A and B are shown apart, each in its own frame.
Chain A
Amino acid sequence: MPINPKKTDMSKQAPEARVKNFNEVALGYNEAEALKEAARCLQCKKPFCIEGCPVNVNIPAFIKLVGEKKYDEAAKKIKETNSLPAVCGRVCPQEEQCELKCIVGKKNEPVGIGRLERFVADAEMKAGNIEKNAVKLPEKKLAKVVIAGSGPAGLTCAGDLAMLGYDVTIYESLHATGGVLRYGIPQFRLPKEILDIEVDYLRKLGVKIIVNVLVGKTIPVAELFKQGYAAVFIGAGAGLPSFLGVPGENLAGVYSANEYLTRINLMQAYKFPETDTPVRIGGRVAVVGAGNVAMDAARCSLRLGAKEVYIVYRRSEEEMPARKEEIENAVEEGVKLHLLTAPVEVLGDEKTGRVTGLKVIKCSLGEPDASGRRRPVIIPGSEYVMELDTVVSAIGQSPNPLIPQSMPELKTGKWGNIVTNEETGETSVPGVYAGGDIATGAATVIAAMGAGKKAAASMDKYIKAKLGIG
């Protein structure tokens, strides 16, 4: 039978319905769709897809198990290397990773690996088998370790170290777990109930999670070693947002995407005044930037009642860093793209200090710059004013400054990032490891997970060498 050239479609909520709610947009495969898609996998002898996955999930093996309707076994297979399959199945940019390497993808559309991963994780959840399937770990632990931050890097590092036999404590500074998975990614892309279940899976592996503790402030790292912890992983995540660098960036109504999304996702401002944290959106919103975070901010704005929502981006559609499917979703929902457009000044009301508009200028694309992308060149005299109530700056952030501030001996790079050995996560301080946005600057969830995984492996080696075992 010839292979189906197209990926099996996944159903979605219709655009006109979904802009009125925060429910998940993509609905996932049903069993028939999953079986149909699993049949497209060639079961390659040399599977390149595994290389493409930062946490090296044994993709052909789990897809084979799906084909055999052994969904629990498939879930166990994924969880051998990935503790967060329901999260990854939803938010990983598979098209740049495993699916990019898929042999089927050479001539046709690649196998929908991410969609299958999600199907498997959701099936295990729906069957209520997560606890039953969890690996039983020995009571006696090798040593105690601390993970600072419960975002994707920290959760992955914690899961791997728990499986390796360590007594793991995660300290989270916010009042809720998940880091960017909770405060950043909206409910309609990653339902928090799903996140809760995956975080809870780590607790089943024996990981202790303590919120309201900021390592470096509440407890200094040096103090942790005094308390007998053998190693520390720092996954403190994103830090201070970058602003536009134009006049008016501090007017009321200019939010960083971090603030905007944190108000909405973590603090549930969409339920204000039932909840206590407000967010003021108004009728017209411009989001500057074109990554996934920008798409999330734009799509949240529509769901909160904004009439006009614009993406302002100085390059063209081709250079937009967001996942293609998220851009498509945003456009379907009514987000308008102002491409080749750069902000010049945020305009405000003198008296109230509130945003009234954004002065922008048109650009064309010149020669490629250091990033390899074509550089935007301003077209003189092409300024115009967009009338707005809210401006969201979604142009990235620097790594979180607080732990480096508290540890002068920790070597940091140009952007305030913790300098690490990329292969091991080692920092300049023995026993201290780091990974995720704190080390690399803003990147993806799965890249952070990959870093957490590598760090876990080298922490294991370091501790065993110190204890003279293994």
Chain B
Amino acid sequence: MFKILKKRDVSPSVKLIEIEAPLVANSAKSGQFVVLRLKDGGERIPLTIADKDKKKGTLTIVFQVVGKTTQELSVYKAGDSIKDLLGPLGKATDFGGAKNIVCVAGGVGIAEIYPEVKELQEEGKKVTTIIGARNKSLLFFEEELKAVSSALHITTDDGSSGRKGFVSDVLKDLLTSDKSIDLVVAVGPVIMMKVVSELTKNFNVRTIVSLNPIMLDATGMCGACRVTVGGKTLFGCVDGPSFDGHQVDFGGLMKRLNQFKDEEKNSAEIYKLKCAECR
């Protein structure tokens, strides 16, 4: 059992939990993830490690409430326990010695990119961070990211915070004005990572994206997380989750992500009905 020590709402649909998992905290590196299963009969879901505290032996996980399991997890409180948790999984992100990096994030990716920004800053690299959301209420971690970035840019679709528009608008300006940018890291919705990768390809700037394919065992056994990268079949849990954004077949990824959409919707709806009763 893995005990939840802290729980907080970072936005209406994004929650943060701190979990006691000393072995995982001790080995985790930025870009890696865990798989967790709440209880018997539960599904195994991969979630990115947003932060860790080796001394306390804890992991911070930030997740977006989308399906049944994340809905269920969102009602867990400090003191509750998660049945199974495995990690750290996947490879740590390889920044390849880049010196001037732009980190771009949207949605729950804002939390997921935090450990990478922090690591790069600690290594003395120049890190510019761009975060975006539909509106102000969906933004979070602004202060945390500001503290570890050389500069933080914010965009919202409706202009309720920062610049009105998309993260790619700011990125385009940066790439145009600063030719020394040698790496872009993008974490967030698939469509955002796709748009960012298309943009950076035009500027010929190396781009790392962090993919979130469906996973089952997440230990290199089942092959559910396969993605097409540069025409080759690679595996999210073994070769990723970070890949060269210019080589990823995002269309194929989106179709594979929708594989169980009906079942997932069904399961979430049943949970909502039951949950309304139990409350």
Residue positions of A touching B, CB distance < 8 A? 173-175, 183, 211-214, 217-220, 237-241, 243, 249-253, 255-256, 258-259, 262-263, 267-268, 271-278, 280, 352-354, 397, 400-402, 405
Contact = CB atoms under 8 A, between A and B. Distances in A.
Given A217-B89, A220-B27, A272-B267, A280 B259 contact: yes
5 contacts: A217-B88, A218-B24, A275-B41, A277-B44, A278-B263
B258 A214 contact: no
Interface string B261-274: 00110110010000
Nearest to B37: A175
Interface in B247-267: 252, 255-256, 258-260, 263-264, 266-267
A278 B216 contact: no
B215 to A, nearest CB: 10
A183 B217 contact: yes
Contacts of B161: none
Ranked nearest first, the 8 interchain pairs of A and B with the lowest CB-CB distance are A353-B255, A278-B263, A276-B43, A259-B222, A256-B223, A175-B84, A252-B259, A241-B223
Contact of B252 (A174, A240, A353, A405): A353
Given A217-B27, A353-B255, A239 B221 contact: yes
B10 interface: no
Nearest to A220: B27
Nearest to B39: A276
B64 interface: no
A175 B87 CA distance: 12
Contacts of B263: 272-273, 278, 280
B98 interface: no
B162 interface: no
Contacts of A174: 86, 217, 219
Nearest to B85: A212
B147 interface: no
Given A240-B235, A405-B238, 14 more contacts: A175-B84, A212-B86, A213-B23, A214-B86, A218-B23, A218-B88, A250-B228, A267-B43, A268-B41, A276-B267, A280-B259, A280-B263, A400-B219, A401-B238
A220 B221 CA distance: 19
A219 B220 CA distance: 17
Nearest to B238: A401
A273 B69 CA distance: 12
Interface string B80-92: 0001111111000
Interface in B86-106: 86-89
Contacts of A239: 220-221
B216 A259 contact: yes
Given A267-B43, A276-B69, A276-B267, A214 B260 contact: no
B252 A262 contact: no
Given A240-B235, A277-B43, A211 B84 contact: yes
Nearest to A348: B255
A445 B58 CA distance: 38
Main secondary structure on A side of the interface with B: loop
B267 A273 contact: yes
A214 B89 contact: yes
A354 B44 CA distance: 23
B98 to A, nearest CB: 23
A259 B86 contact: no
B265 to A, nearest CB: 11
Interface centre among A217, A219, A258, A400 (most CB of B within 10 A): A217
A273 B256 contact: no
A277 B258 CA distance: 14
A265 to B, nearest CB: 12
B230 to A, nearest CB: 14
B233 interface: yes
Contacts of A253: 259
B79 interface: no
A353 B256 contact: yes
Given A213-B23, A218-B27, A267-B44, A262 B86 contact: no
Contacts of B260: 278, 280
A183 B266 CA distance: 25
A251 B256 CA distance: 7
A252 B253 CA distance: 10
B97 to A, nearest CB: 20
B256 A256 contact: no
A201 B224 CA distance: 33
B23 A402 contact: no
Contacts of A258: 221-223
A402 B270 CA distance: 37
B222 A276 contact: no
Contacts of B217: 173-174, 183, 262
A402 B239 CA distance: 10
Given A214-B89, A218-B88, A278-B264, A252 B23 contact: no
B15 interface: no
A173 B224 CA distance: 17
B57 interface: no
Interface string B192-227: 000000000000000000000000110111111011
Nearest to A263: B216
Contacts of B224: 255-256, 259
A354 B259 CA distance: 8
Nearest to A256: B223
Interface in B1-24: 23-24
B232 to A, nearest CB: 11
Contact of A240 (B42, B227, B238): B238
A276 B42 contact: yes
Contacts of B246: none
A250 B217 CA distance: 18
